[in-house]
Structure 1
Amino acid sequence: MHTLNLGILAHVDAGKTSLTERLLHTAGVVDTLGSVDDGSTRTDSLALERRRGITIKSAVVSFTLGTTTVNLIDTPGHPDFIAEVERVLGVLDGAVLVVSAVEGVQAQTRVLLRTLRRLRIPTLLFVNKTDRTGARYGSLLASIAERLSPDTVAMGATRHLGTREAATTPFTAADPGFTAALTELLTRHDDGLLAAYVDDPAALTHPRLLEALARQTARCLVHPVFFGSAATGAGIDALVDGITALLPAATGDPRAPARGTVFKVERTANGERTAYVRMVEGTVRTREVLRFRSPDGREGEGKVSAVGLFEDGGEVPVPAVGAGRIARLKGLTGIRIGDSVGEARAEAGGRHFAPPTLETVVLPVRPEDRGALHVALAHLADQDPLIAVRRDDLRREVSLSLYGEVQKEVIQATLADEFGVDVTFRTTTTICLERPVGTGAAAEFIDTDPNPFLATVGLRVDPAPYGSGVEFRREVELGSMPHSLMRAVEETVYSTLSQGIHGWQVTDCVVTQTHSGYWPRQSHSHGTFDKSMSSTAGDFRNLTPLVLMDALRRAGTQVYEPMHRFRLKLPMDTFGALVPVLARLGAVPEPPEPRGALCTVEGVVPAARVHELQQVLPGATRGEGVLESAFDGHRPVAGPVPERPRTDHDPLHRKEYLLRTVRRVAG
């Protein structure tokens, strides 16, 4: 029996969850199809998902297709919940990307396939809703080739498109057009196949072409395209055959040391944390003590109290789970999303999608709920680490990072429904970044005014290449002071850079420690420890922000705002009226590309203005304009520099900082 961990991905409303339900029905797991509109699907189990008719959290369901056990992961399609998709990608053996036969290739569709190809995840395309009015075949295939990938091939023909009788007929060896298209596609990626065709075209038999199609699909070189309808079941059998024949099964040695990845964390009704784990190697058993490690180096361990395996649409308790399978583990207190379990090994990490670009302050309606709100947000951050909770203890406020307004509404409803905390939000703002523009250095020395701390710290800040993040280096000898004090400086550098000169996260820089010094542990003649004569880690944690911000101020910083790449389709005669609108929004359009009475315009626009562009577009284009946009990096802010209120003791203002830190001002 083979195992396939399969992801279903799509732009919102393309029909992912309906396809999942249809596959469960085809596999015999459910007798009656659930409905997204009725809130009766198997994978949309949250009350909020059923009310809104959208997928918010990824869900796992297992079923058997022939000799293959499929662990299917249904993911959200709305871009506000892209973090859920982010976490799933690392555990997939293959994917089905759903495209609507009516709406066609949409913004999120393009983002998803680009990411799947970059991560080399084998992907099939399923064109859904062939029974809907306006469904397309030939023009949609051309759009897929142009806007998604030219390395695609239709696996069947359709008839009665746009009606309830819509059906799909798979291509066979008797279809010369299919054989020719398959040959042209596959020989582009296989010189051996091309040479065989040149020597003797008849050598490329239909079985040989299908074998090559499976190999190239598994290498993410090509993407077979299936047509059908999740609502009527048309084309589903052909898709099932494609899933089992073209997507590679999970690999891994169950006898190797245990190793896996956590992609989802939930809490049970009694508050117990459970981890969804994809086992890469080895086997995990109940009552086994399992170590886990986060990407940032945090480590922990716990005893596995129970293992739940997904099987035939449900979950069953089992004594162990082996390589290639997905299971729920209980008992691992402190485990988080993104942690690796078992044997540590360097994994290909990095973020697959853009980080959140929006931020809002969340406030309890009832002031007495402030403590309950902090607890609830900590629970939500466990389940979604990209909801970066930023606490401002000075103002007693909490900020959240967001992808969009829909996510904010969902968080508000979740806090009310699950935690009984009613909240309101302040106006959503854009999250900017700061980058150093030059080099700056500063140092303060022990027992030298105006330094009140028993520590010597010198730091230099240098700019680094775009996208490189923050790197800490040392020009001092490691033995010049204890490791705990060295570590205190390094950790404080990283935490301090969360707020730069203008209050934004500082990135793309190298911070080098240039000076160090301390007073060894001192004691009186009777052996008692004398804090007033001995350096502690606290001295270094308090002094480092002052030195670092002084160095950063000398280096200078530039504030960058997030940008979106946009693509507009609109009537050509409305473009002139839209130009001043784009200019007012700070957008930079490229020359339009005319296509008959329509034109396509691409360009960049500040992320903060995308929503406004969506609102004005219908009026400016007679309701015919279509907008796609996706994150496209950062650019320097033009005009007044936005300031972000600080949440720390503000080392930029020495007197206030020292009053709050040591309750006295030295020097």
Structure 2
Amino acid sequence: MSSDIQKIRNIGIIAHIDAGKTTVTERMLFLSGAKHRVGRVDHGTTDTDDDPEEQERGITIFSACVKFDWKDNHINLLDTPGHVDFTAEVERCLRVLDGAVVVFSAREGVEAQSETVWRQADRYNVPRIVFINKMDREGADFESVFNDIQPRLGGRPVAVEIPVGQGPAHVNNPFRGVIDLIDLKFLEFDPETEGKQVKETDIPDELMDDALLWREQMLEAVYELSEDAMALAMEGEEVPRQVIIQALRKGCIEQTIQPVLCGSALHGIGVQPLMTAVGHFLPSPLDRPAVEGFDPKKEDKTLARNPDPKEPFSALVFKILPAKTGDNYWIRIYSGVLKQNSRVYCPNRDKKENVAQLWQIHASKKDRDGQTESLAAGDICCVIGPRFAITGDTLCDTKEMIELPSIKFADTVLSMAIEPENTGDRKKLEEVLAMLRRQDPTFQAVENEELGQTIISGMGELHLEVIQHRLTRDFGLNVKFYKPRVNYRETVGGKSDIVGACNRQMGATQMFARLSVRVSPLEDSSAPVQVFDRLPADINLPGDIRHAAIEELRERAAGGGLLAGFPLSGVRIEAYDAETHEEGSDEVAFRIAAGDAFDKGLQAAGPVLLEPVMKVEVTTPEDYMGELVGDLQQRRALIAGTETRGAMTVITAHAPLKEMFGYSSAVRSLSQGRAGSSMEPLGYQAAPKEDAEAFMY
């Protein structure tokens, strides 16, 4: 069994939008023999982008899982979105993967979302290899992209391939193949067989000097990683191929290097070596550390599970696809064996769950021929039967319990009010929204009974637009949609020391309580509210009353700020003194005093409205830079920097989300369609005074 696990590769394809992730995936499926025709994104014929919304827009929105075999390795591949609005799909996939292929466009290079997905991979300690795609495009520059990886991403790229030529067929030196630096061979890919036939020849003399220079750089990294390689080099001996591969594999798994390959996925150039590199350099489940969690019955007790079928079963739910016949739960099995028609335990919900069916996954669906009796450690599969677990929850053995770390998703930044056109659709709308919440952890829907509306929230304009289309097109609902609004927060601008009081007559009892509270801002205005019990130990305050006062402060903080009830953040609240009477000083009195102190403390410290700020990256020809910078400044953007990448200029700016509605259309209009932009959440800043005043009155 362990030898099978050694051959499993659980990998993801991650990148900035339009770098070619889905095209890479499709070409892998074709070249491995998993499908007979190559799907095209622009034709809407790809396996992984099978949702109508994805096919219409030509982008990936939902992560998809495909499986194929290549050179004795069984590869579970997750294709992920590149658009920042769907970054949760990347987050949940990286949480369960063992390795990743990071795709860069040879023309655009390291872009804004490239940095985001790289940071996500860092956070989950995911080893990665790099594929510089689109080497056949106008303006392709392998060396420029390669040299950007270290300063912009903090990586250490090591080239194991270099391109022969770059750019389309009409340029002087078009891209026509790659040089394998390990074997020192020139690889050409037959266009007639769409890259299936690979011709391996000696490197032409005119390219040999360049190849040897790059190979020496690769070997320098190998010497650092392998004592055997260093010893051979010092003796003047040739370093064997297998020693080089083992050294690079070690460095990749330890995340000290990232092997770099190149090609053109659209034309099948360089994809076969990429699949071979996945097997050579990326880890199997056995190469990864044991997964750690804690005992749900004793939270201070840390537990671990090795990737071994003989260990107790443990798995993580990373995606749920609602279905009429039973929700499809996508899980990663970390240890043990999972059998069909068995019972497992979900510690997060304290519920036992049924495992009625086990399926292999193809794209976003169950594989038609993929139902199986059992699956073991290291695999990714679909389970039908659970009812209570949600994304990020653990499934484990009913006797040997463990709770694994969950998945943390970013807060929503944009909201929109919706309501059904008629009362008959209200119940159906509620059911559909509940289903969408199960599927997408970054989508929220809260009913406002006073207005008869539902407030839906998401990660951006495109995210909410996709939700709109699903409600109307996929579910046939007649729904009114109102203008999107940003999700503000509230904090305080200064400090205050306040005494909250309760001095009320309740029947025959005179209630009394005094609570001294200090309110101050945290350095990070977006950090969660911190509530501290600083009450002296010798104060005459029973434990239940003390607890009630602190609990009231926490509940009030969770309820939002004073301006408009927006979520409160970046605030420290400390209760540091209290006064009681012999009679009438009970839990209720101190809750009232705590509430009074909370309101007075926030007011005295100066409520501040915070607005979300986006990091904006605009890539444009130099001719349009002035107009684009001027437009950004009119949107209250701060220009953080500009740089030249090939023939294009990249503008980086920090802009309030409120001012950025419809920005992608504005960029196209100002540049005659030649510039592009991307945005990602950066943080929060104080909103203009007039915006805050609008909520006060």
TM-score class, shorter: 0.7 to 0.9
Listed one character per residue, the Cα deviations across residues 380-439 of structure 1 (whole Å, up to 9, x for unaligned) are: 111112112233222122222222222222111211234321323222222222223324
Segment drifting more, 198-207 vs 258-267: 198-207
* Letter of the 1:258 counterpart: F
For the residues of structure 1 that align with 2:394 and 2:144, how far apart are their CA atoms? 44
- Aligned residue in 2 for 1:216: 251
Give the drift of 1:196. 5.4
Matching of residue 508 in structure 1 with residue 570 in structure 2: yes
Give the drift of 1:244. 0.5
Compared CA separation, residues 627 and 283, structure 1 to 2 (3 A)? same
Matching of residue 155 in structure 1 with residue 160 in structure 2: yes
Alignment of 1:425-574 (within 5 A): 425-436=481-492, 437-439=494-496, 441=498, 443=500, 445=502, 448=505, 460=517, 461-466=519-524, 467-474=526-533, 480-481=543-544, 489=552, 492-493=555-556, 495-497=558-560, 499-511=561-573, 548-568=598-618
Give the drift of 1:577. 5.8
Query: Which one of 381, 384, 394 corresponds to residue 340 of structure 1?
Result: 394
Alignment of 1:38-437 (within 5 A): 38-132=43-137, 134-144=139-149, 147-148=152-153, 151-159=156-164, 161-163=167-169, 166-174=176-184, 175-186=211-222, 190=225, 202=237, 206-251=241-286, 252-270=307-325, 272-294=326-348, 299-310=350-361, 316-342=370-396, 343-345=401-403, 347=405, 350-351=408-409, 355-436=411-492, 437=494
Segment drifting more, 282-291 vs 409-418: 282-291
For the residue of structure 1 that corresponds to 2:92, the secondary structure is helix
For the residues of structure 2 that align with 1:60 and 1:405, how far apart are their CA atoms? 26
* Letter of the 1:307 counterpart: L
* Letter of the 1:65 counterpart: W
Is the 2:135–2:175 contact (alpha carbons within 8 Å) kept by the matching residues of 1? Answer: no
For the residues of structure 1 that align with 2:258 and 2:546, how far apart are their CA atoms? 53
Give the drift of 1:235. 1.4
Segment drifting more, 225-234 vs 446-455: 446-455
Give the drift of 1:238. 0.3
Compared CA separation, residues 623 and 268, structure 1 to 2 (3 A)? closer
Listed one character per residue, the Cα deviations across residues 324-347 of structure 1 (whole Å, up to 9, x for unaligned) are: 111222222121111122233463
- Aligned residue in 2 for 1:663: none
- Aligned residue in 2 for 1:659: none
Give the drift of 1:627. 4.3
Is the 2:27–2:266 contact (alpha carbons within 8 Å) kept by the matching residues of 1? Answer: yes
Q: Which segments of 5 or more consecutive residues in structure 2 lack a partner in the other structure?
A: 185-210, 287-306
Compared CA separation, residues 540 and 176, structure 1 to 2 (3 A)? same
For the residues of structure 1 that align with 2:47 and 2:508, how far apart are their CA atoms? 63
For the residues of structure 1 that align with 2:134 and 2:112, how far apart are their CA atoms? 18
TM-score (norm 2): 0.77
For the residues of structure 2 that align with 1:428 and 1:551, how far apart are their CA atoms? 32
Listed one character per residue, the Cα deviations across residues 30-72 of structure 1 (whole Å, up to 9, x for unaligned) are: 2223333333322223333334333221122222223322111
Listed one character per residue, the Cα deviations across residues 481-538 of structure 1 (whole Å, up to 9, x for unaligned) are: 39997897487346413x54333211233445679999xxxxxxxxxxxxxx9x999x
Alpha-carbon RMSD across the aligned residues, in angstroms, is 4.2
Is the 2:156–2:258 contact (alpha carbons within 8 Å) kept by the matching residues of 1? Answer: yes
Listed one character per residue, the Cα deviations across residues 453-485 of structure 1 (whole Å, up to 9, x for unaligned) are: 999795845433415413444457997339997
Listed one character per residue, the Cα deviations across residues 574-633 of structure 1 (whole Å, up to 9, x for unaligned) are: 666665544322122257568999765544222333456555556666766554543322
For the residues of structure 2 that align with 1:299 and 1:487, how far apart are their CA atoms? 28
Matching of residue 27 in structure 1 with residue 32 in structure 2: yes
Is the 1:229–1:235 contact (alpha carbons within 8 Å) kept by the matching residues of 2? Answer: yes
For the residues of structure 1 that align with 2:28 and 2:352, how far apart are their CA atoms? 38
For the residue of structure 1 that corresponds to 2:329, the secondary structure is strand
Compared CA separation, residues 568 and 134, structure 1 to 2 (3 A)? closer
Q: Which segments of 5 or more consecutive residues in structure 1 lack a partner in the other structure?
A: 519-532, 646-651, 654-667
Is the 1:572–1:598 contact (alpha carbons within 8 Å) kept by the matching residues of 2? Answer: yes
For the residues of structure 1 that align with 2:547 and 2:558, how far apart are their CA atoms? 16
Is the 2:549–2:594 contact (alpha carbons within 8 Å) kept by the matching residues of 1? Answer: no
| Number of equivalent positions | 625
TM-score (norm 1): 0.80
For the residues of structure 1 that align with 2:587 and 2:427, how far apart are their CA atoms? 32
Listed one character per residue, the Cα deviations across residues 282-306 of structure 1 (whole Å, up to 9, x for unaligned) are: 3333444322244xxx543322222
For the residue of structure 1 that corresponds to 2:96, the secondary structure is coil
- Aligned residue in 2 for 1:522: none
For the residues of structure 2 that align with 1:408 and 1:178, how far apart are their CA atoms? 47
Segment drifting more, 554-563 vs 464-473: 464-473
For the residues of structure 1 that align with 2:241 and 2:252, how far apart are their CA atoms? 16
For the residues of structure 2 that align with 1:455 and 1:550, how far apart are their CA atoms? 18
Is the 2:550–2:594 contact (alpha carbons within 8 Å) kept by the matching residues of 1? Answer: no
For the residues of structure 2 that align with 1:542 and 1:415, how far apart are their CA atoms? 44
For the residue of structure 2 that corresponds to 1:24, the secondary structure is helix
Listed one character per residue, the Cα deviations across residues 118-147 of structure 1 (whole Å, up to 9, x for unaligned) are: 432111222333445554434443455554
Segment drifting more, 59-68 vs 261-270: 59-68
Is the 2:392–2:406 contact (alpha carbons within 8 Å) kept by the matching residues of 1? Answer: no
Give the drift of 1:635. 1.8
Segment drifting more, 606-615 vs 69-78: 606-615
For the residue of structure 2 that corresponds to 1:82, the secondary structure is helix
Is the 1:474–1:512 contact (alpha carbons within 8 Å) kept by the matching residues of 2? Answer: yes
Is the 1:488–1:540 contact (alpha carbons within 8 Å) kept by the matching residues of 2? Answer: no
For the residues of structure 2 that align with 1:159 and 1:421, how far apart are their CA atoms? 54
